[in-house]
C-alpha cells in the first residue's frame, strides 16, 4: 500500500499520516518524489486491516490517493525506492551508472588454474573474479567443486592478485563460512527459490548476486530478491542467465534480454547478465554480451578459463583469455558509443 500525498500537503499532514500508519502497527517509508511525497507501507498488511487503513488514510488531510500494490515485492520495487541502488565493495561500485565485469572459470579446480585465470581477467579489465567452490550439478556424478579447499584457493588468489571475488553458496548453513572467504555471495539459478538460503544470505552483510531461475517469472525473481531485502540486506544484484529454451539444439538456454529494461523500469536493483550460461557456447558469448551492454545491463558475468578444453565444468561456454580480452575492448566500444563521456 502506498499513500500519495497532494502536491500542497504540509509536513504536519505527512507526519500525521505516518503516525496513523504506526498506530495501526505498520511501518511507514517516506518516498520523496520530484513534486510530491508518497508514503509506503513496506510489508504485508493483514487482510482485515487493509480496508480499515484505506478508509482512515483516504480521509486524512493532504492525502490524494491510497494505492494498493498487488505485486509480490515492495522493497525491490522502484515505487518504494525511486533511485538506482549503488553497491560499493572496496573500490568497485555497481549500479547507478557503474558498470562491472565479473569473469573467471565456472569452478575452482586448482590453485594454478585460478591464479592464471585471475591474472588474465584482471589484466583484461575485469574487476571481480568469479569461480564456484560449491557446484550445483545436475548429476551427482559430475564434479561437485573443491568446496572448502576451493574457498581457500579463492581467498589466496584474491589476496595475491588483488581482485574481488564472487562465489556460489548452496547451503543456508554455509552462508557464514562462504562469506568469510569471498566478497559477493552468488545464489545460483537452481537455488533462487531456496527460501531458507535467501533468508540466511539476507542476514549476512555481504552483497548477494541473485541469479534468475530458468523458469522463473520476473515477479518470482523479484519476490526472491524481496526475501533478501526484508532481512535487511540491501546489497542485491540481479543476474539474468537465460531461461528455459524451446529448443536446446543450438543454445543451452534463451537469454532473456527483455529482462534488462524490464528490471530497470520496475526495480532499482542493479542487473547484470551472464551470457555464458545464457547461450552455452563460447562462439556466441560475445554477441549476446554486447547486446546485454547495449540493452542497459549494469554489468556482465562471464566464464573465462585458461584452458577451456580441460575445464571440469562448462568448458564449452568458457572464453579463452584472448577471446575475453577482445570482448572487453568491444564492450568498451559499445559503452562509449552509448555514453560518449566514457571516452574521456
Ligand atoms: C555458474 O555460475 O557457474 C552457475 C552454476 O550458474 P547458474 O546458477 O546460472 O546455472
Ligand atoms: Mn558454470
pLDDT for 44 equals 87
User: pTM for the whole thing?
Assistant: 0.94
- Whether residue 99 is predicted with pLDDT greater than 90 in this model: the reply is yes
- The answer to whether residue 321 is domain-embedded is yes
Mean pLDDT of the chain: 96
131 Cβ closer than 6 Å to some ligand 1 atom: no
End residue of a domain, out of 35, 67, 99: 67
What is the percent of the chain where pLDDT is above 90? 92
211 Cβ closer than 6 Å to some ligand 1 atom: yes
pLDDT for 223 equals 97
Higher pLDDT, 100 or 339: 100
Shared domain for 336 and 256, answered yes or no, is yes
Query: 137: which 3 cell numbers?
Result: 550439478
Shared domain for 303 and 164, answered yes or no, is yes
- The answer to whether residue 163 is domain-embedded is yes
Taking CA atoms only, the protein residue closest to ligand 1 atom 3 is 106
pLDDT tier for residue 249 given thresholds of 50, 70 and 90: very high
pLDDT for 16 equals 98
Query: 302: which 3 cell numbers?
Result: 562471464
Shared domain for 205 and 175, answered yes or no, is yes
106 Cβ closer than 6 Å to some ligand 1 atom: yes
Domain that holds residue 168: 87-343
- The answer to whether residue 79 is domain-embedded is no
Taking CA atoms only, the protein residue closest to ligand 1 atom 1 is 106
Higher pLDDT, 70 or 293: 293
- The answer to whether residue 309 is domain-embedded is yes
Tens digits of residue pLDDT in 300-338: 999 999 999 999 999 999 999 999 999 999 999 999 999
241 Cβ closer than 6 Å to some ligand 1 atom: yes
Shared domain for 265 and 160, answered yes or no, is yes
132 Cβ closer than 6 Å to some ligand 1 atom: yes
- The answer to whether residue 73 is domain-embedded is no
CA of 188 to the centre of ligand 2 (A): 10
- The answer to whether residue 238 is domain-embedded is yes
In ligand 1, which atom is closest to the CA atom of 106? Answer: 3
Residue 342 near residue 325 (C-beta atoms within 8 A): no
Shared domain for 274 and 324, answered yes or no, is yes
188 Cβ closer than 6 Å to some ligand 1 atom: yes
Tens digits of residue pLDDT in 296-308: 999 999 999 999 9
The least confident of 18-27, 69-78, 82-91, 302-311 is 69-78
CA of 186 to the centre of ligand 1 (A): 9
pLDDT for 13 equals 97
Shared domain for 242 and 116, answered yes or no, is yes
Over range 157-179, report the average pLDDT. 98
List, as ranges, residues with CB under 5 A of the ion ligand 2.
106, 314
In ligand 1, which atom is closest to the CA atom of 186? Answer: 2
Sequence-ordered list of residues with C-beta below 8 angstroms from that of 70, at least 6 positions apart, any chain: none
277 Cβ closer than 6 Å to some ligand 1 atom: yes
Query: Torsion-angle region of residue 314: left (phi > 0), alpha (psi -120 to 50) or beta?
Result: left
Shared domain for 98 and 34, answered yes or no, is no
Tens digits of residue pLDDT in 185-229: 999 999 999 999 999 999 999 999 999 999 999 999 999 999 999
Query: 323: which 3 cell numbers?
Result: 577471446
Shared domain for 58 and 114, answered yes or no, is no
The CATH number given to whatever domain includes residue 140 is 3.20.20.70
End residue of a domain, out of 34, 67, 100: 67
pLDDT for 214 equals 98
pLDDT for 289 equals 98
SS3 204: coil
End residue of a domain, out of 67, 95, 115: 67
pLDDT tier for residue 344 given thresholds of 50, 70 and 90: low
What span, in angstroms and rounded, lies between the C-alpha atoms of 341 and 287? Answer: 24
What span, in angstroms and rounded, lies between the C-alpha atoms of 91 and 147? Answer: 28
CB atoms within 10 A of CB 237: 26
Domain count, the chain: 2
Quickly count helices (H) and strands (E) in the chain. Answer: 11, 14
Tens digits of residue pLDDT in 51-63: 999 999 999 999 9
pLDDT for 114 equals 98
pLDDT for 57 equals 97
What span, in angstroms and rounded, lies between the C-alpha atoms of 95 and 99? Answer: 7
Over range 96-102, report the average pLDDT. 98
Shared domain for 238 and 275, answered yes or no, is yes
Shared domain for 173 and 293, answered yes or no, is yes
For the beta sheet containing 63-67, the strands, ordered from the edge strand earlier in sequence to the opposite edge, are: 29-32, 37-40, 2-5, 63-67
pLDDT for 341 equals 81
Q: Relative to the alpha carbon of 308, which ligand is closest? A: 2
The CATH number given to whatever domain includes residue 19 is 3.30.70
103 Cβ closer than 6 Å to some ligand 1 atom: no
Shared domain for 195 and 308, answered yes or no, is yes
252 Cβ closer than 6 Å to some ligand 1 atom: no
In ligand 1, which atom is closest to the CA atom of 242? Answer: 9
Q: Relative to the alpha carbon of 312, which ligand is closest? A: 2
Sequence-ordered list of residues with C-beta below 8 angstroms from that of 98, at least 6 positions apart, any chain: 86, 92, 298
Taking CA atoms only, the protein residue closest to ligand 1 atom 9 is 189
In ligand 1, which atom is closest to the CA atom of 132? Answer: 3
- The answer to whether residue 82 is domain-embedded is no
- The answer to whether residue 78 is domain-embedded is no
Shared domain for 211 and 256, answered yes or no, is yes
Amino acid at each position: 500500500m502506498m499513500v500519495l500525498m497532494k502536491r500542497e500537503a504540509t509536513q504536519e499532514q505527512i507526519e500525521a499520516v505516518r503516525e496513523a500508519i504506526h498506530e495501526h502497527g505498520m511501518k511507514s517509508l517516506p518516498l520523496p518524489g520530484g513534486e510530491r511525497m508518497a508514503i509506503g507501507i513496506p510489508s504485508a498488511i493483514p487482510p482485515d486491516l487493509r480496508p480499515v487503513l484505506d478508509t482512515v488514510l483516504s480521509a486524512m488531510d493532504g492525502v490524494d490517493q491510497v494505492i494498493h500494490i498487488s505485486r509480490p515485492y515492495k522493497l525491490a520495487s522502484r515505487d518504494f525506492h525511486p533511485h538506482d541502488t549503488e553497491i560499493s565493495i572496496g573500490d568497485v561500485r555497481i549500479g547507478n551508472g557503474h558498470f562491472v565485469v565479473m569473469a573467471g572459470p565456472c569452478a575452482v579446480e586448482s590453485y594454478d588454474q585460478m591464479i592464471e585465470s585471475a591474472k588474465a581477467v584482471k589484466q583484461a579489465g575485469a574487476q571481480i573474479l568469479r569461480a564456484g567452490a560449491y557446484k550445483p550439478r545436475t548429476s551427482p556424478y559430475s564434479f561437485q567443486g573443491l568446496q572448502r579447499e576451493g574457498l581457500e584457493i579463492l581467498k589466496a588468489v584474491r589476496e595475491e592478485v588483488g581482485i574481488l571475488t564472487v562465489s556460489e553458496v548452496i547451503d543456508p548453513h554455509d552462508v557464514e563460512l562462504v562469506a568469510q572467504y569471498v566478497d559477493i555471495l552468488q545464489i545460483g539459478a537452481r537455488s533462487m527459490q531456496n527460501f531458507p538460503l535467501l533468508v540466511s544470505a539476507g542476514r549476512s552483510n555481504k552483497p548477494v548476486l541473485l541469479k534468475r531461475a530458468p523458469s522463473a517469472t520476473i515477479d518470482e525473481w523479484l519476490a526472491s530478491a524481496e526475501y533478501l531485502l526484508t532481512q535487511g540486506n540491501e546489497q542485491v544484484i540481479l543476474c539474468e542467465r537465460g531461461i528455459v529454451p524451446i529448443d536446446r539444439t543450438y543454445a543451452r538456454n534463451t537469454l532473456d534480454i527483455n529482462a534488462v529494461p524490464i528490471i530497470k523500469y520496475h526495480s532499482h536493483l542493479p542487473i547484470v547478465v551472464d551470457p555464458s550460461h545464457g547461450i552455452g557456447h563460447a562462439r556466441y558469448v560475445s554477441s549476446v554480451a554486447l547486446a546485454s551492454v547495449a540493452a542497459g545491463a549494469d554489468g556482465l558475468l562471464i566464464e573465462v578459463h585458461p584452458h577451456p578444453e580441460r575445464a571440469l565444468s562448462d568448458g564449452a561456454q568458457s572464453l579463452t583469455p584472448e577471446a575475453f580480452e577482445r570482448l572487453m575492448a568491444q564492450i568498451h566500444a559499445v559503452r562509449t558509443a552509448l555514453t560518449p563521456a566514457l571516452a574521456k
